[in-house]
A = this chain, B = another copy of it.
C-alpha cells in the first residue's frame, strides 16, 4: 500500500497551499471536559475551529469525537446526564455562558447526522421547517426562493425540483443526506457540524457529499467527524486526531492526541500514536 494510491485531494494535495495553515478561529475550545453522569468521557480538549475551513475529527470508536462535536452546538444539553466544563469561545462569546440560549446557538450552528433523518413531511416542508420554527417571517414566494436556494446549494435542486411535494422518505439515501444538508443550510447557519455524514451511504453518494462539502466551505465553516481516514484526507483542511486512554482508575476516556494541517497529520504526524492509527496498526 503506497501513499500515491491514497485519494488525497484537499488537505494533502493542497498541502503546499495556505489552506489549513492560517487559522482564523471561529470557535475555540479551551480545556473542554464532558461528563456523562459520573463518567468523565472526554478530557481536556483544546482546539481551534478555523472559519471557512473544513475541520475533521478522526479517531477510534468511542474516543469522544461525537461528544465533542455535540458540544459545539450544545446538543449535549439534551442528554440529561451530560455535563460540560471548560469553555468554548464562539465569535468571542462563551458558548456555555449563563445568558446564552442553546436554541439560539443551534440556530447558528447547524448539524447533519450520520443517518439521513428527513422529517416525515414533503421535501419542501423539510426545508421550510427550519425557517418556520426559527421565526423567520417569510411569505410564500420568499419561502419558495429559500427552498430553491438551499436545495441548489446542496446540489439537489435539479433532482427534486419536480417533486417538492413528495415525502422526503421517497428519496435515496444519498439524496436524503443532501436534503438534510439543504435543511441545515436553509436557516443560514454560521457553522455546519456533520457527524459521519457518509457512514450509511454508498461510494457514489459519498463522493457527491464530499464534493458538496468542498463547495459549502466557501460560505460556511464545516466540522466533520469521520471514521474514514481517506475521507478526512480528501476533504479537510485541518484534522484533529482523538484517541482513548485508560486512566489510573481504569476508566476509559477520550482525549485529543494532536491537531494540525491535514497534510501534516497524514504524512508526518508529530505523535507516534497518530501514525500507528493512520497506518492501520490499531483500531
| A residues at B contact (CB < 8 Å) | 1-3, 5-7, 60, 62, 202-203, 229-230, 244, 252, 266, 275-276, 278-283
Given A1-B1, A2-B2, residue A7 in contact with residue B280 (CB < 8 A): yes
Give chain B residues whose Cβ lies under 8 Å from the Cβ of A275: 5
Given A1-B1, A60-B203, residue A6 in contact with residue B229 (CB < 8 A): no
State the number of copies, please.
2
Smallest Cβ-Cβ distance to A282: which chain B residue:
B203
A280/B6 in contact, CB under 8 A: yes
Give chain B residues whose Cβ lies under 8 Å from the Cβ of A244: 202
Q: Complex Cα distance A279/B7, Å?
A: 8
A266 to chain B, nearest CB (A): 8
Which of B6, B60, B62 meets A1, CB within 8 Å? B6
Q: Complex Cα distance A1/B6, Å?
A: 8
Can you list 7 A-B contacts with CB-CB less than 8 angstroms, sorted by A residue number?
A: A1-B3, A1-B279, A2-B279, A5-B276, A5-B280, A203-B283, A230-B280
Smallest Cβ-Cβ distance to A7: which chain B residue:
B281
Q: Complex Cα distance A7/B202, Å?
A: 27
Which of B266, B276, B278, B280 meets A229, CB within 8 Å? B280
